[in-house]
Structure 1
Amino acid sequence: MLGTVEARQDGRPVDLGPVRQRSVLAALLADANRMVPVEQLIDRVWPENPPLRARDTLYSYLSRLRGLLAGGGLEIERLGGGYLPRVDPDAVDLHRFRRLVAEAREAEDDETAAVLFERALALWRGEALADVGTEWADELRRDLRAEQWAAELDHADVRLRQGRHAELLAELMSWTREHPLDERLAGQVVLALYRCGRQADALAHYEQLRRRLVEELGADPSPPLRELHQRVLRGDPELTAAGAAPDAVPHHFPAAPPSFIGRTGELAALTAASRPEADVSRVVQISALAGAGGVGKTWLALHWAHAHRERFPDGRLFADLHGFSPAGAPLEPSVVLRGFLGALGVAPSRIPPDQDAQVALYRKLVDGKRVLVVLDNAANADQVVPLLPGSPAGTTIVTSRRHLAPLITRYGARHLQLDILSHAEAHALLAERLGEARIAAEPAAAEALISLCGRYPLALAIMSRHAHTRPHIPLAEFAAELRDLGLDALDHEDPTVSLPTVLSWSLRALTGEQRTLFALLGIAPGADIGLPAVAALAGTPPRRTAKVLSMLEEASLLTRRAGGRYAMHDLIRDYATATAERDLPREEREAALRRVIDFYTHTAHAADHRLDPHRTVVPPPPRHPAPNPARRPTIPAP
């Protein structure tokens, strides 16, 4: 109910009929297990111009809803003057959200509270009552947005008390753009910055808010925020994570993924790599094989970590290193180290300012302990190495879009390739998100979605969300939309659920030459391509071209196949094509295509002559000249 109004029976979506009928159901479920007077229902469904026989129309809608939802756990009982919806409150997202938030606020410990808040906030799947356009629904939406925001801030307070300020900071900063005058949020940002060792930034953030309050509202910050500012100004050593103590057992960890499909082989490989008799470093790196992002690295790591939490009685640490994310610059290792040291019970005033000293203290605290450290979304090996525990008793999992060769070469990391889903896994993902019945009702459309998504996990998840929030639309329509629109159908204003945006983050770390070759490969003819043809396409010497191809492979934007052939996943190639059309001049694209066609033509001519040297053939036209490498345009950083 927090998204579109939806009902399910035996996991199958139920078509609730026209919008007014869905509005009636929403108006009832908002007051589950309480009688709603008829006049109130009419006001909620027809706030301005109710029909002449509103009561009869309302009764007709309710009668149809009873039939549609019979046996589905909802009974609509008619009482004197109104209707009583009898339903398990947990069957309605709205009431489950409120229950989980209430339990989180009353929880006796922060770990339990954090999990409950995460479960509650995960119920939000877009705008509440998105398909109900009445004045009552607008008011309820405003109230629910306020409830959600309060829960987000409460959850942030819990995570700050847990010492999770390093992983939380980027999220808080993004909220600031939407809520620039929220003083409670400002206090959380100031505290997180201070605990990350950024006292000057914390003071600057407070001053920025103070000026905005004066300019826009003519008011000063509230007394609690002013007090926090004074404590940061004097470097108050008591501004540390509440409850932290020396030798604390850290549980600095996100919740497990709500659902997880397949990956049996990869999970087994992780288990084998982390067994006690494995190599002494036991650093496991997960790298995407078929996709620069959205292939499921983080979910795999978190699912495995929660399934094997008993292996790590001395604690678990997690950090999103923001190597590829909307946050922009990757986190500095010293920021993460401060967060880890705080979770291990070290007060901010006792954390050394020098990074080498921080590394030494961190490794001393975890030495000989069975801890799990998950370093997610790493930009490069230099960002990771200071965060490795250095003790054979612990296990480290690193996820990255890059192969991070130094970890493999210098530290003996086990390299785990994460590919796209198998066909069975892709089918299971759709069935889990949409229900077996809906998939069985349109098997051809389901197969088309799997094929058009290329079994790419994020693409499948995006299309599943489209279909889940619109249960009345056939799957065939979504497949047709994806076929017609391509990547545009997988775009969204929220960057974390937009495949084009997620892919774009991989281009940030590339040089201009690498970005240009990536774009040109998108327009190259053929399903795959060899090095000589790529050199012709780029107009660069083969050795130089080989180095650029190697970097694109390292960035998980390209796959090298046997026989020296290079290929891209279809969706990544679509993105490369769009990049070329957007960022490369038409003349540059056409010149590259002429060069590679010339290469194929002359290669075919030479092969034909080798097979039959006595046959008379028409000589091919002269090759198209390669550009001057010093003048060759390159795509700037996004």
Structure 2
Amino acid sequence: MEFSLLGPIAVATGSEELALGPAKRRSVLALLLLQPNTTVPLEQLIDSLWEDEPPEHSRTVVQGHVSRLRATLAEGGADAYGIELTTHGSAYLLRLPEELIDAHRFGELVALARPEAAPADAVPLLREALGLWRGPALTGTVTSPPFAAAAHALEERRLTAVEALARAHGALGEHEQAAAILYSAAVSHPLREGLIAALMRALYRTGRQSDALEWFHRTRRLLNEELGVDPGERLSGAYEEILRAEAADGHRAAAGSGARGHGRAGADPDATAGRVPAQGGTGPAGKHGAKATTGEGGARETSGRAAAPRLLPRPPARFLGRDDQLAALTDALTDRTTGESPLAVVAGPAGVGKTACAVQWGHLRAADFPDGQLFADLRGFGEGDEAPPAEILRDFLLALGTPPERVPGSAQAASALFRSLVADRRLLVVLDNARSSAQVRPLLPGGPHCATVVTSRSRLDGLVATDCARPVGLQVLGHEEGAALLGAMLGPERVAEDPAAARELVALCDGLPLALRAAAAQLTARPRWRLARLAAALRDERRRLSLLSAEDTGIAAALRMSVARLSADDARLLSALATSADGHLNASVAAALAGYDPERTQDGLDRLAEMHLVDEEATDVYTISTLTQLFARDERGEAEPGSGDDRSG
């Protein structure tokens, strides 16, 4: 007989599980297992089972659950295992060998592991320990503070074991395995700074410095938005270590270039030092902006610049299609006939995949930019403040090898230094999530061999007017493309089982890749569900937005960030448009719905269209997507609880 706390509460005998009954009964068992061979007072059980004031008959309820548990354990042959549930006055005692509890075995295995002293032995021990987990601890118990605290404590022990396993792999030089282990935990715990710092170091040691730095900036943004604090010492220390190491590598590569001139053809200086080359690099020619020449024997020589920054996020997973847009970016960003630094703006609605398209193009064309790729999230449509140009420029200058003490304090001076440093380099700059043209202009390089991609939910007409930016619009996916994305996420066989349901899912998701990925996440977590079951759930408009969310991402969150940037008048206009029966309307209908005069309505519609919250399909023909309508209606219901539009469910 085995007892499980590290996941759903369960009792297994052989290959079968005992039927434990409702959540409160499972919770009684969980509390007894958390304190095995110890008397647990009845009052403690009552306090744990009811978050609010317990009912008058609570003692009788608990006694009934204990009685049923005793009978269930007896039916499972508890006596043969030395298991006994007894009553001691007004307390209960679950007597059993503690090794039958998965949490106890987990603790023993972790205690035996010594990641630094004996990493080769620690790896199998820690893997066995972590293999005991079958999901979030204490799943199936009531949602009261005592159980939440106990589950949190167990989760902390799990994360400690994850970090120990990563250290053991690192001690063995297996940095890829360490990064993979830490990545999953970091996604689930994005504010755990020690975990993120360990992941950053592991990524850097595999040569993925751009991914490492991206994790720092992502975590810094989350800390600011969620907690209103700056990164702590561990996270900042990891970031500074990586920047210093990059600069040092660049200087070492430059100092040793002459000695290597007659060496092995194509030898990588980092490889000779035992370090894995950076992802996306092409040997020394791909190191931080160094002008590369070929010496005798094919070895490369550099002019002494720091190693080429590779700050692009990793290529988007399961990226499909967008061939026309990728070709348009190539046409716009490789045009050297004008003698100017080419600039493209990838614009489209929230969740349409703008960042993925820009990053994918950057990786496909990395060879065109041997002096590096810079990337920054401008936070134009985030919950916090947008990124000030001085902050982004400081990160760019540090990545290009500028010592911290030489980075100018003013944005104007930093912008001038940035343009000077990159004037003769072949460099790609990706400015993601821009709010306005004014936010972008200080960050634009001036060299004719540099290229810049900006992504935004706004069209950024100002950049088109003053900087000759080439607009590249992204639209939602059609039925075939959307079904192909579902197939890439779930496996083609699962989609082929019910192609009609796949088409319906694409329609219910408005063809937005972000929504389709969230839907795929729901189905991945529920492997027994057919596509038709999720489609049926999504037909309920009250649940659709919540179902199209996956942890820290989702359509509702994305739309909320867009709407937060609207003026009060435009937000009210959008709310009024959401009441349209079919989402199709003209300026006159919009004016009637909003109660605005025609001129005010037309100006508002133009601004909403610029933000891709409505589409202007033809002259005076506007559409608003179903998901945008649902979000705006929900927001309207929250803002006007007395309006009679009850969508609280």
The TM-score, its normalising length taken from structure 2, stands at 0.60
**Separation in structure 2 between the aligned mates of residue 436 and residue 347 of structure 1, nearest angstrom:** 51
Superposition pairs for residues 311-390 of structure 1, below 5 Å?
311-326=368-383, 328-390=384-446
Please state how far the C-alpha of 1:116 moved relative to its aligned partner.
Answer: 7.2
Residues 528-569 of structure 1: CA deviation (Å, up to 9, x unaligned)? 111122222222222222111111111111111113111112
Tell whether 2:209 aligns with 1:152.
no
**Separation in structure 2 between the aligned mates of residue 392 and residue 556 of structure 1, nearest angstrom:** 31
Please state how far the C-alpha of 1:102 moved relative to its aligned partner.
Answer: 6.3
The 1:176/1:528 distance shift into structure 2, 3 A limit, reads closer
Residues 485-532 of structure 1: CA deviation (Å, up to 9, x unaligned)? 4434335584x3121111100012111001000110001234311112
Instruction: Name the SS for the 2:318 alignment partner.
Output: coil
% identical aligned pairs: 31
**Separation in structure 1 between the aligned mates of residue 186 and residue 242 of structure 2, nearest angstrom:** 32
Instruction: Name the SS for the 2:539 alignment partner.
Output: helix
Please state how far the C-alpha of 1:168 moved relative to its aligned partner.
Answer: 2.7
1:249 to 296, 305, 308: 308
Superposition pairs for residues 9-20 of structure 1, below 5 Å?
none
**Separation in structure 2 between the aligned mates of residue 314 and residue 152 of structure 1, nearest angstrom:** 28
The 1:443/1:573 distance shift into structure 2, 3 A limit, reads same
The 1:414/1:158 distance shift into structure 2, 3 A limit, reads farther
Please state how far the C-alpha of 1:579 moved relative to its aligned partner.
Answer: 2.1
Residues 287-322 of structure 1: CA deviation (Å, up to 9, x unaligned)? 01xx3x111111111111112111110011000111
Residue type at the aligned position of 1:174:
L
Q: Is the 8 A contact 2:341 2:445 kept in 1?
A: no
Superposition pairs for residues 172-321 of structure 1, below 5 Å?
172=220, 174-175=222-223, 185-189=232-236, 246-277=305-336, 279=338, 280-288=340-348, 291=349, 293-321=350-378
Please state how far the C-alpha of 1:261 moved relative to its aligned partner.
Answer: 1.4
Tell whether 2:631 aligns with 1:580.
no
**Separation in structure 2 between the aligned mates of residue 194 and residue 331 of structure 1, nearest angstrom:** 23
Instruction: Name the SS for the 2:380 alignment partner.
Output: coil
Please state how far the C-alpha of 1:577 moved relative to its aligned partner.
Answer: 2.0
Q: Is the 8 A contact 1:176 1:186 kept in 2?
A: no
Residue type at the aligned position of 1:274:
L
The 1:177/1:543 distance shift into structure 2, 3 A limit, reads closer
Higher mean displacement: 474-483 or 358-367? 474-483
Please state how far the C-alpha of 1:191 moved relative to its aligned partner.
Answer: 8.4
Instruction: Name the SS for the 1:252 alignment partner.
Output: coil
Residues 113-150 of structure 1: CA deviation (Å, up to 9, x unaligned)? 6x8776555546987xxxxxxxxxxxxxxxxx89x975
Q: Which residue of 1 aligns with 2:216?
A: 168
Please state how far the C-alpha of 1:464 moved relative to its aligned partner.
Answer: 0.6
The 1:102/1:573 distance shift into structure 2, 3 A limit, reads same
**Separation in structure 2 between the aligned mates of residue 574 and residue 567 of structure 1, nearest angstrom:** 14
**Separation in structure 1 between the aligned mates of residue 535 and residue 645 of structure 2, nearest angstrom:** 31
The 1:442/1:160 distance shift into structure 2, 3 A limit, reads closer
Instruction: Name the SS for the 2:622 alignment partner.
Output: strand
Instruction: Name the SS for the 1:560 alignment partner.
Output: strand
Q: Which residue of 2 aligns with 1:610?
A: none
Q: Which residue of 2 aligns with 1:130?
A: none
Residues 211-268 of structure 1: CA deviation (Å, up to 9, x unaligned)? xxxxxxxxxxxxxxxxxxxxxxxxxxxxxx9xxx854421222211222111111111
The 1:358/1:285 distance shift into structure 2, 3 A limit, reads same
Residue type at the aligned position of 1:433:
M
Residues 317-350 of structure 1: CA deviation (Å, up to 9, x unaligned)? 0001111124x10110000000000001111111
**Separation in structure 1 between the aligned mates of residue 635 and residue 321 of structure 2, nearest angstrom:** 33
**Separation in structure 1 between the aligned mates of residue 589 and residue 620 of structure 2, nearest angstrom:** 11
Q: Is the 8 A contact 1:487 1:499 kept in 2?
A: no
Q: Which residue of 2 aligns with 1:549?
A: 605
Instruction: Name the SS for the 1:378 alignment partner.
Output: coil
Q: Is the 8 A contact 1:169 1:189 kept in 2?
A: no
Q: Which residue of 2 aligns with 1:71?
A: none
1:52 to 77, 101, 107: 77
Residue type at the aligned position of 1:52:
G
Q: Is the 8 A contact 2:193 2:232 kept in 1?
A: no
Superposition pairs for residues 16-55 of structure 1, below 5 Å?
51-52=76-77
Kindly report the root-mean-square deviation, in angstroms, between the aligned alpha carbons of the 2 structures: 4.6
Superposition pairs for residues 523-538 of structure 1, below 5 Å?
523-538=579-594
**Separation in structure 2 between the aligned mates of residue 361 and residue 578 of structure 1, nearest angstrom:** 47
The 1:325/1:118 distance shift into structure 2, 3 A limit, reads farther
Residues 141-190 of structure 1: CA deviation (Å, up to 9, x unaligned)? xxxx89x9754221345789969869734513635899999x99444348
The 1:179/1:320 distance shift into structure 2, 3 A limit, reads closer
The 1:542/1:179 distance shift into structure 2, 3 A limit, reads closer
Unaligned 5+ segments in structure 1 are: 6-17, 26-42, 56-84, 128-144, 197-240, 591-638
Q: Is the 8 A contact 1:176 1:185 kept in 2?
A: no
The 1:425/1:408 distance shift into structure 2, 3 A limit, reads same
**Separation in structure 1 between the aligned mates of residue 224 and residue 441 of structure 2, nearest angstrom:** 31
Q: Is the 8 A contact 1:159 1:168 kept in 2?
A: no
2:472 to 416, 433, 438: 416
Instruction: Name the SS for the 2:565 alignment partner.
Output: coil
**Separation in structure 2 between the aligned mates of residue 555 and residue 177 of structure 1, nearest angstrom:** 23
Higher mean displacement: 451-460 or 155-164? 155-164
Instruction: Name the SS for the 2:347 alignment partner.
Output: strand
Aligned length: 449
Higher mean displacement: 262-271 or 372-381? 262-271
Residue type at the aligned position of 1:551:
R
Q: Which residue of 1 aligns with 2:84?
A: none
Superposition pairs for residues 600-611 of structure 1, below 5 Å?
none
Q: Is the 8 A contact 2:585 2:621 kept in 1?
A: yes
Superposition pairs for residues 79-94 of structure 1, below 5 Å?
none
Q: Is the 8 A contact 1:157 1:188 kept in 2?
A: no
Please state how far the C-alpha of 1:362 moved relative to its aligned partner.
Answer: 0.3
Please state how far the C-alpha of 1:423 moved relative to its aligned partner.
Answer: 1.5
**Separation in structure 1 between the aligned mates of residue 408 and residue 331 of structure 2, nearest angstrom:** 36
Q: Is the 8 A contact 1:251 1:316 kept in 2?
A: yes
